[in-house]
Amino acid sequence: MRVSRMWAAAGLAVAAVVAAGAVPAQAATLPFGTVRSIVQQVPFSTANPKTFALPCNAGERVLGGGAFTVGGVHAVITEMQPIHPATGPDSFQVTAAADQFGIAGTWSMQVFAFCAVVPASVQLEIRTLTNPPTSATVDQAVTRCSPGKVVMSTGGRIDNGNGQVDLGTVPTSSGILATGSSAIAKEDADGFAGFYTVTGYSVCGRPNLLASDFQMRRVQVAAAAGVSSLSNLTFCPSGTQLTGFAGYTDLFGTHLQRLTPNLAGGRTAFGGTFGAQSSVTPTFAWNMDTTIFCAQ
């Protein structure tokens, strides 16, 4: 029954494609090599939860980011948040927490951020929505870009889930562009008795040339019952660079572990690697939904 509800919730995340008209061809919105991929290893410790905000340089804007937990199947990502503050540098913040089984010994995570000097013409924005507290087995917060803009990255945050509610994000389209995204929270295999909140983020921008300057690639990877981990590597179209991720698993007890960039040389990422795992052996087939956002 809970699995059926999960599939129904996932179905809510598919929506409209871009309806904006094309604009005259111009130079690339973000020329290849201008988006920097940076990483920080959080020190190993027994602290729980762990939160780290990785800042961009002065004058740069954060487009998106990723995470990689190092602590076994009971380390759960609960926040991947792009931050555009009123003052100070932009940053990408990640939180991970141990579930109710805990983590033996020290553990860590890696935090990634994608930073760039963004032209004013992009009109970069973060659209955000926080849902009311809930005890539902699944909840999602849908955010949509302003008219004429498309998604360059996604994010989400779960508050008060105590590591028993994991985070996923999906775009609201299966094509090459999306105008919004959904942050999805789902409880673990044995549920969560408390109330939690989920917040969604869409990082949006206006391209010079629609369906060329900004593109996304969305791939679903399937696992049979009894399989406890999944991985997937997806590449950006030639000449484009990674600006962000979306990822999600559809079965209770499974969760994302890895959303990391693959570098083309220097600090420019040309694709992404996803990983997911299960805290219990799955008794049903399950899927990992992966999306990379790319720009030129």
pLDDT, mean of residues 168-186: 97
Band (212; pLDDT cuts 50, 70, 90): confident
Q: Give the total residue count for the chain.
A: 296
- Asked if 143 and 246 count as a contact pair (C-beta separation under 8 A), the reply is no
- Supply 170's token pair: 């999906």
- Residue in the block written with tokens 């860590």: 108
Pairwise CA distance, residues 61 & 203, whole Å: 11
| 3 state SS of 9 | helix
For the chain, percent of residues with pLDDT exceeding 70: 91
Residue 214 has pLDDT above 80, yes or no: yes
Please name which of 281, 272, 239, 267 lies closest in space to residue 80, comparing C-alpha atoms.
272
pLDDT in the model for residue 273: 98
Mind listing the pLDDT tens digit for each residue in 266-277? 789 999 999 999
Strands (DSSP E) contained in the chain are 36-41, 50-55, 61-70, 75-83, 91-98, 108-116, 125-130, 138-144, 150-159, 165-171, 180-187, 197-205, 214-223, 229-235, 241-249, 254-263, 269-278, 286-295
Mind listing the pLDDT tens digit for each residue in 92-148? 999 999 999 999 999 999 999 999 999 999 999 999 999 999 999 999 999 999 999
Is the whole-model pTM more than 0.85?
A: yes
Which own/partner pairs from 233-238 qualify as long-range (CB within 8 Å, at least 24 positions apart)?
A: 233/262, 233/271, 233/272, 233/273, 233/274, 234/271, 234/272, 234/274, 234/290, 234/292, 235/262, 235/270, 235/271, 235/292, 236/270, 236/271, 236/292, 236/294, 237/294
Give the amino acid at 17: V
Cis ω for the linkage preceding 147 (within 30 of 0)? no
- Supply 37's token pair: 């991929």
Residues 238-253 as b or e (16 or more Cβ within 10 Å = b): eebbbbbbbbbbbbbb
